[in-house]
Structure 1
Amino acid sequence: MNITVWNEFRHEQRNDKVKAIYPQGIHAVLASFLQEENHHVTTATLDEAQHGLTDEVLNKTDVLLWWGHIAHDEVDDAIVQKVQQRVLDGMGLIVLHSGHFSKIFKTLMGTSCDLKWREATDKERLWVVDPSHPIAAGIGEYVELENEEMYGEHFDIPAPDELIFVSWFTGGEVFRSGVTYKRGNGKIFYFRPGHETYPTYHNEQIQTILKNAVQWAAPVKRERPVYGNAQPLETLKGE
């Protein structure tokens, strides 16, 4: 598959703690382990021309991963519309962590996508609540992350098509951390873990989940349905 990893790439350039964990950027780490699956993986970042998401890049992307946080408003609305159209046409989309507030996720969800949060080195226990789902393949009953940012309910999203992971945090909060949706011909997976100041994407179990998610989100090889005024397939009475 052709995979594009999109990253805002701002924290890594401004915050020494983040730079120490992801010296080449979060996108580079995500791309490196996805390449192990023999996918063709490219990266794109906010400050590139057209945010790195040119028509040529989007048209050949099978699955797009999206990580953003402090610069959601800087993403051009025209690019958001193009990504939305590609999802409707069948491109898979995996939205990561604070990407819940990205323009593209909010557009596709139609809600505020707001939540509670706390950055206080909580322990996260990511429970598998749908063990039969292919995204959970190879994962035990839960994944434990010693330090993560807390996200808590209520998470203002539409009722998911599928709920795969639910998180518990040291402070007592819970969160729907792995949910799927279908929009048009495309499939969407939102996955919560991945705060920039913690080495979450170096965790092998998290990597396994994302490798599985890419396979699950792969496009279905069919054209979108034709909409609008339609001619009858059979002869209508009176004609």
Structure 2
Amino acid sequence: MQPTAADKVSRPDADDESAPSSSGTSSPKSYLLVHNVSKKHNIGTLSRSCTAFGVTQVCIVGQNAYNTFGSHGAAEYVDIRHFWKLEDAAKYLKEDCQCDIVGVEIVEGALAVHKRPFKRNTAFILGNEGTGLSQKQIEICDYFVYISQYGPGTASLNVTVAASIVLHAFAVWAGMPERGREGQKFVVAERPVRQTTRRVCQDSPEDVAAARKERQAASLQDHSDDLGLGSIDLEDSASNE
């Protein structure tokens, strides 16, 4: 039997609203893991919320091209990293970034986000607006949060609104310094110089090499299957060249 969302909950103390210790350490960091979001323009509006609430990095899984419609230039300030596979993104966030991965979903055992049940660096993953979190997404989550509602007119919030609420809750809990204000606006930093192709995530050389190796292995295996030769070890194949 596959684990359910309730099975996956490794819950911190739901009553612990204490802020992280400020004894010489930096504030905990937030990340956003974007996988299978239903509307293409969500990346743009999500970027706007991410830069407003101090998100360290957005990890996009799947296609490396994205739409920044609705960002109003905010996407230029967001660090975006691409992964082809969800499990690779999860490994990076948990091992390299020392994150809890927190699913934002109305499931049994989920904790109210306004209680700020966070413990350390946290990566949030939101479900598809139509179908919620998939089984694969549930399996990588350490615990879940939900957004309390008080009116009768809607069953849930859309992805960008939900992201804004949870990212703001985390920023308050983490004690991130509030941005300066000028008049009726917050101060916007000078726009960074863009180093990559607009609206395309540039993979690292290591990721490119790994993806190339996987494609070579798949191609060799397909050819071997056509010839009835069975499985092929790419390392052995390379050593014999």
Considering the TM-score relative to the shorter chain, is it more than 0.5? Answer: no
TM-score (norm 2): 0.28
Larger radius of gyration: 2
Identify the structure with bigger relative contact order (alpha carbons < 8 Å, sequence gap 6+).
2
Q: Which structure dedicates a bigger proportion of its chain to strand?
A: 1
TM-score, length-scaled by structure 1? 0.28
